Amino acid sequence: MSTHDKILRVGMVGYAFMGAAHSQAWRTVNRVFDLPARVRMALVCGRDEPKVAEAADRLGWDGYTTDWRRLVESDEIDVVDICTPGDSHGEIALAALAAGKHVLCEKPLANTVAEAREMTAAAARARESGVRAMCGFNYRRVPAVALMRQLVADGRLGEIRHVRAVYLQDWIVDPQFPLVWRLQKDRAGSGALGDIGAHIIDLTQYVTGQLVTGVSALTETFVRRRPLVAGSSGLAARADGNGSATGQVTVDDAAVFVARLDGGGLATYEATRFATGRKNALRVEINGSRGSVVFDLERLNELEFLDATRPAAEQGFSRILVTEADHPYLSAWWPPGHIIGYEHSFTHQMRDFVEAVATGTDPAPSFADALQVQLVLDAVTRSAERAAWTEVEPALAKV
């Protein structure tokens, strides 16, 4: 059997918003990239049999099950892809790793630091047997973000002094929007902080190569009770029709914090689902001694770059259109100038994961990388509760 004949049989748990995005990527990855293994979309899992049966057919899976344990224990599965709410990440990932399955787990890795540490330790043990684990921070795979990291690593920005990161959404601005699982701490772990704040924490640490060491934070819940939910899909939902039936919102609606990086720079972060008019606005700006660079998800094929080593009369932010074949990932896609979109970041994620699993190398971000993000989330939560500067716990403690 040649390396290209190797088959990775994937089982995915969860089929809603992230499950659909992952399915599109699994369907596409071998059609775009020349990889040392081929993916087979073997099995998808969900609790509601009619819905998961329909999803399997619509999304392209060979079969379905309503029991994730059956999926994890099956000899017909090599990879377990976890796209469920955070309260089940740990149990599924630990079982999959123990069964010798490679694991891709959506972010944030877990709902608590203790769970994330346990998962990281299990992944480290499984690695000794050739089993690989990765956390799904897909924005790392946007070509412009990868180029941004390359500019920093090449020293084009010099010493990093400032990082500014925001992730702004508005999908729960309406106080009548129902109490979906993302607004319940026992399911989601936290609100805007863990859901979208995790992305910008990972993104800034990835791009700069520097870790957050301490934070001072504020969090707020603007709407504390909401109508009970009758049905939901992705980020859309409907109330149960009884206006008097409400439940408690137990997560943050918004989080803001300042931070120190271990390279000496200062950073500011804002994550909110109450930025009226902002649908999915992620923006990162990095200022260094030799230049600055800006990424805006709403213009994800572009970077703004300023080279401060140029003569003063020639300085100014320039627009880099990140669509050339020698830009990260883009040799597999279209001619220069033909832009790509959000879904491509997941295809690139699967490309890197399949490559790592098939060649026996370590995929990134690892569970250890995701644990470090979890430690920052935890420090932000503790800082907001204490109204005090809070150090980020060391990643190696208690693992």
The pLDDT of residue 231 is: 58
The pLDDT of residue 396 is: 78
Contact 133, 96 (CB under 8 A): no
Q: Binning pLDDT at 50, 70 and 90, where does residue 2 land?
A: very low
Beta bridge partners of residue 276, listed in sequence order = none
Model pTM?
0.94
* Residue 133 to residue 75: CA distance in whole angstroms: 18
Predicted confidence (pLDDT) at residue 145 exceeds the cutoff of 80: yes
Structure tokens at 73: 């224990």
DSSP 286-338: EEESSEEEEEEGGGTTEEEEEETTS-GGG---EEEE--STTSTTGGGSPSTT-
Mean pLDDT of 8-19: 98
- Cα-based angle 366, 368, 369 (whole degrees, multiple of 5): 65
Structure confidence by residue, pLDDT tens digits, 172-218: 999 999 999 999 999 999 999 999 999 999 999 999 999 999 999 99
The pLDDT of residue 1 is: 34
Mean pLDDT of 239-258: 86
The average confidence (pLDDT) of the chain is 95
Higher-pLDDT residue of 397 and 273 is 273
Question: Residue 398: which region, alpha, beta or left (left: phi > 0; alpha: psi -120 to 50)?
Answer: left
The pLDDT of residue 399 is: 38
Structure tokens at 8: 């990775």
* Residue 237 to residue 63: CA distance in whole angstroms: 27
Q: Binning pLDDT at 50, 70 and 90, where does residue 235 land?
A: low
Give the β-pairing of 133-136 and 102-106: parallel
* Residue 316 to residue 286: CA distance in whole angstroms: 15
Helix, strand or coil for residue 284? Answer: strand
